Chains A and B, each alone.
Chain A
């Protein structure tokens, strides 16, 4: 099976712009989670989608949003970018069976905000 893919891998934006990141889960996985990784804050949970519904959200401002499509692909959007949004954004997918909490991560999208 192909792993979790994320596009683009690298992105450079300027303050005030918005950005959309994409994640394709492992085939058959219906849950997609997003995490932000920064040197200062470490890995932090952003949100999780299952069957096109957001089931849980982390402690991030409303500028961070996401959605999931019927094929389980997910997008994450950040509006009005700030310098502090520079980070590695990781997407993870998991199945809905017995191993539901075993998450498989993509390589990440490295976002740099100038």
Chain B
């Protein structure tokens, strides 16, 4: 069965410094992985997705993630944090049984200090 584990419930960075949000996944086959962001009182927005085409995936707003099969990781990074990046981030794996079901991690709340 597929699952994702987000290793940090909260991450705090200063504006202008790098962001690293960690995610490990478990899947019996090559998974589809996603990162979603949720701003307060808003729905979920897709940041980026991995579907085996390339291990380094670039997303919106300067975010990127690297798929590492040997480490079963899909960490999200950004070179320089902006105040507007403060939000909750979810690592997500897609269940590959054509059911379109997504399994969400527990979320990482990113705080950006001025």
Contact = CB atoms under 8 A, between A and B. Distances in A.
Interface of A: 4, 31, 33, 35, 42-45, 48, 50, 55-56, 58, 90, 92, 94, 100-108
B45 A100 contact: no
Closest 4 CB pairs of A and B: A56-B99, A43-B104, A105-B44, A101-B94
B21 to A, nearest CB: 16
- Describe A's contact surface by its main secondary structure: strand
Given A43-B90, A101-B32, A33 B100 contact: yes
Contact of A56 (B36, B42, B101, B104): B101
A58 B102 CA distance: 11
Contact of A55 (B100, B102, B104): B100
A56 B100 contact: yes
